[in-house]
Amino acid sequence: MEKTKHKRSASFWLCIALVLCLISCIGASLLQTDFGNVQIIKFKIPTDNGKWLSGNLFRPVSATAENKVPIVITSHGYLNNNQMQDISAIELSRRGIAVIAMDAYFHGDSSSTQYSYEDSGVIEGMGMIPLVEYAYSQLDWVDNTKIGVMGHSMGGSNTWNTARHYGRLYMQALEDAQAPGSDGGETITEEEQAYADSVNKVAAAFPTSSVRNTTDEVMAEIHCNFGTNFGFYDEGAYRCVNGDGDLHDAPEALAIVNSILPESEKLTDTIEIGKMYGDPANDTLRVVYNPHEIHPWQHFSTESAGYTVDFFTTAFQMENPIPSSNQYWLWKELFNCIGLVGAALLIVPLATLLLKVPCFASLAGEEPKKLPALTTAKSKAFFWGSWCLSWIVSWLSFIPIGKLDQYIFPSVTARGTSNWFPQPTTNFILLWAVFNGIVGLALFWLSYKFVGSKNGVVPSEMWGIKISLKDFFKTLALAICVFIGFYATVMFSQYFFQTDYRIWTLDIRAFTVDKLYVALQYWPLFFVFYLANSISINSSSRVEGQKEGFNLFICALGNSLGVIILNAIQYGTVFATGIPHWQEDWLRPLVIVPLIVQLFVAAYIGRYLFKRTGKVWLGAMVNTLIIVMMGVANTCTFLPL
């Protein structure tokens, strides 16, 4: 009777999950296409030396060879992918500006390069420069006089490098035009000026979260409308000349504005934040925005989205019938989040139904007995002490253990390519996870040795750890089936609707074959962590006398609390002082923010699958496969070209 109930419940929740995913796809698709007014095309184009670039092209349906439109090429930041620029793409395209949201080299579905990471950024703008050439020469519906570039963080650096690249070409053309042997001698002819204008293919540039190293000499190479948006609380602001993110009196901001002012009018003390200096008609527009935002919030902000719209519509001298405050993107993100919830809800019912399939039916089992109630002071002290120690170790070990990556994976940490463990972010998270997995297993054993064994704990009846080799591999096969079913919905959403499941930096996206190759390297080692986690939640924390809901919540909270405290310290310091607590490693706390949700949900998945099988293994395997792939698909990969 109980098994029939589980099956009916599983069918119901699976249907709910799939309906949520479908609602997510339809709603997000309608909003990101402006209800059919924008066409989204996933592209993959070859560049030189066997490289390729991928991303999404947002093309207003009104764009034709007879009705040309401006275009903006936008780049995500380090460790991200093109979907992180959906906000800019949606808000610009619905206003008649086409957008290429690119996957930079080493990221998303784009290739690596024959250059180093640093050289690729300078020489090709991580792929932005080839895409400017592509838009200029291959898209006959693009207004070649109105090509813009923008990007966040690393993408901002790409924007700087691209604008400077074309500025140098422009200056070289004028220098050649003034050579004594040129057509006009030392006088620049109309034809020579026209040629110089034609090689300067960028009309507007708007780097976000990237002002470091801005000097008068750098700005002298910029010959287009230019603006920047830098967060007042940006974690990297300590590297600015003034040591903070306040740009109103920053030398970097003064250099940007002064680049178009005559010597007698140059500003010496402050600029006016948000004021548009210069004239877009002659490529001298300059503007500096400085919202009270942290680094990652700048690509998830209505204020910053409004600045992007204001800058490009002004730079392109467009009449903008839609106010910059009128934005769709947040609703689209909410629909993406519905899909995220649906995907999470899908896992347990899918596994439950697969346990009814004859080849997996033998894996179904009863939930083992709970551990004896905490009736003594010693047992309570060990229970809560172990709980506290687990997240304290998680918090304190993250930075020092993660930094061992420079010794264990030196090439990749230095952003060099490798066929093995080629993801720097995944590497330092891996080291932290394995360390905490070992600590977790040690705490489990010590708790049993000093308390459990003397308090009626019977491992064979209460732990759910013992498993035959045959059942281990059958469980692995079942976990793989769950993984395939889970990602089938993600592939469906991308193929038919060009959407994924996400909220801010937490993302489930489709992956390519190379990411599967990478995941295969990481899965076995991460399994140590998720197995220890499943044992902690199910074999050492389920006790009599605690309500199931409370017990499961504290297990989930314990999973995430170390990461929460780490980021609370980091951003509490940022908001209090303007600089991060961990400066040199300021990106590391940021990139594990998704783990707060992932680890919290992992506890529930692990517990419910434990209830279905009576073993810790299925939950550990499913969590390993899905959470590791979420990370692998959403960061940079330094595989050789």
The string of pLDDT tens digits covering residues 336-362 is 999 999 999 999 999 999 999 999 999
68 — pLDDT class (breaks 50, 70, 90): very high
Answer whether residue 626 shows pLDDT above 80. Answer: yes
Closest CA to 448 of 466, 433, 463: 463
Q: What is the pLDDT of residues 201-223, one digit of tens each?
A: 999 999 999 998 899 999 999 99
Q: Does residue 28 contact residue 81 with C-beta atoms inside 8 Å?
A: no
- Separation of alpha carbons 333 and 316, rounded Å: 28
- Separation of alpha carbons 213 and 634, rounded Å: 28
Q: What is the pLDDT of residues 218-255, one digit of tens each?
A: 999 999 999 999 999 999 999 999 999 999 999 999 99
Q: How many CA atoms lie within 13 A of 443 on its CB side?
A: 26
Pairing mode, strands 204-208 and 142-152: parallel
Q: What value does the mean pLDDT take over residues 549-560?
A: 96
Distance of CA 287 to the CA centre of its chain: 27
202 dihedral zone (left: phi>0; alpha: psi -120 to 50; beta): beta
Closest CA to 108 of 72, 60, 65, 75: 75
**Entry pTM:** 0.95
Q: Does residue 41 contact residue 598 with C-beta atoms inside 8 Å?
A: no
Answer whether residue 35 shows pLDDT above 90. Answer: yes
Classify residue 467 by its DSSP letter: -
Pairing mode, strands 98-103 and 142-152: unpaired
Answer whether residue 189 shows pLDDT above 60. Answer: yes
- Separation of alpha carbons 193 and 226, rounded Å: 21
